[in-house]
Amino acid sequence: MTETAQRLAETPAWLAARTPVGGPHRLALCQPRGSSTVKGAGDQYPVASSTTTSTVNALPAPASTAKNHIQPLPLRTPQLRLQHKVRSQKSSRITSKLCYYSYGLNLKLLLYLSQLWPARQRWRPTDELPAKPFCAIFAAEAGTPSVLQSVKMATRAPNPTGSRKISFNVSEQYDIQDVVGEGAYGVVCSALHKPSGQKVAIKKITPFDHSMFCLRTLREMKLLRYFNHENIISILDIQKPRSYETFTEVYLIQELMETDMHRVIRTQDLSDDHCQYFIYQTLRALKAMHSANVLHRDLKPSNLLLNANCDLKVCDFGLARSAASQEDNSGFMTEYVATRWYRAPEIMLTFKEYTKAIDVWSVGCILAEMLSGKPLFPGKDYHHQLTLILDVLGTPTMEDYYGIKSRRAREYIRSLPFKKKVTFKSMFPKTSDLALDLLEKLLAFNPVKRITVEEALKHPYLEPYHDPEDEPTAAPIPEEFFDFDKNKDNLSKEQLKELIFNEIMR
């Protein structure tokens, strides 16, 4: 028996059950010829017990990501060749019909990434991951101690040499490397799992200063654990705290993706084939969410993670909520601080019901941004946002007008001058008719008339990728799943902390 087979044999049943069937399959869409990429099956990670201290340096973010600040490589016209769909009996992976890009997006991404990573850490398209399945490696290493590591992080101060340290209390099996992102209440670092040589992302969250941050953290943990989908970022594990008394931080160990859609759009032009494939994967993830009666509510380019193979994963479920909830929607916007550029008009016009169509609108805004390289509705405030939408879609028809239940919102619309609809063809003259037709259906003003995710996947624009047998759904989330959201006004920070602790320890 080989070493790998022996380790798999020793893997606990509860852990082996989480291993994807079919092993390390990987979609290779945008790779140069002769390259190969294999992805293993990530799974449980060790639990913390003791600490030591070490320090590593993180690179500061580039001063600008504007296209004229990055010198692109000379690219040839992509040579496309359609191939028949290949289905593995052991895997339900997406199968690509784009067989070969003449470097294309792959080299552009590598160019961008090379400016962020030290030379010794640069990714090469010929690099392969270890052959040992992650589940076998991590099962054999259970119970290893933790290490308190510090990362020097660039400050936002004018002084380019200024820095601060971020401490990560994680298993000593990980070598914390670079800061790859920072939010209002968390920091994401890349880390090296030393036994396997595999890079992962570790998201450190400090949510306990504000109840809203606690709610978002709890939502994200519960939902990412619930979904098991190729196009939704997964939680490989959550670092378990030593005790409730010392519990002040949350550490999510996740797949490491190389960039996001926002950075890609800002640094390069996307071909129509890239737009097709990225929108297809986004809708494929959205189909799983909506089948589970979950609204994402915060779809935008920066929440679509990418790697150089053009794999896409949706992240950031902190604003998600149940679509099946029968509670009053009056509090729907209390936490809604997402970028307004991708918000559906019914959210701002206070329609009485918020449906899955709000996510579909966001997908339409993302598609338009991929086609043009700039946001479609970059509103500066509430009124400007609505003005930009109506400048393109025109004044609502009488049917759509009376679909707005809020009297004040109707009066506001009526006070505006009449506006004629602008054709998308005039806005995107070089875009294919099929892409514009899908865009038109995604950006319908009336949510009732807006195309559904299932209908969008069947649209002729996405025909090269659409495969109903390989677009899985998810079981509807039980009603009690979001009980904490229903009672959020009555939950203290300490009670929310206890809920988060119990979720981690389960």
Active site residues: 298
Q: How far is CA 96 from CA 19, 89, 101, in A?
A: 23, 16, 12
C-alpha–C-alpha distance, residues 31 and 27, integer Å:
10
C-alpha–C-alpha distance, residues 350 and 346, integer Å:
6
Residue 451's identity, in one-letter code, is I
How many other CB atoms are there within 10 angstroms of residue 57's CB atom? Answer: 14
Please work out, in degrees rounded to the nearest 5, the angle formed at the alpha carbon of residue 56 by the alpha carbons of 50 and 58. 130
Both structure tokens of 67: 């296209």
C-alpha–C-alpha distance, residues 257 and 84, integer Å:
28
Nearest to 257 by CA among 131, 139, 359, 116: 116
Assign 464 to helix, strand or coil.
Answer: coil
What phi and psi, each to the nearest 5 degrees, are found at residue 44?
A: -55, 145
Nearest to 316 by CA among 292, 296, 335: 296
Both structure tokens of 115: 């400016």
CB 103 within 8 A of CB 78: no
Both structure tokens of 499: 């809920």
CB 345 within 8 A of CB 416: no
Q: Which residues pair with 237 in a beta bridge?
A: 253
Both structure tokens of 359: 């996510």
Assign 422 to helix, strand or coil.
Answer: coil
C-alpha–C-alpha distance, residues 238 and 227, integer Å:
15
Nearest to 412 by CA among 326, 350, 365, 473: 350
Assign 306 to helix, strand or coil.
Answer: strand
Q: DSSP E strands: which ranges in 315-386?
A: 321-322
Tell me the helix, strand and coil percentages in the chain, rounded to 5.
35, 15, 50
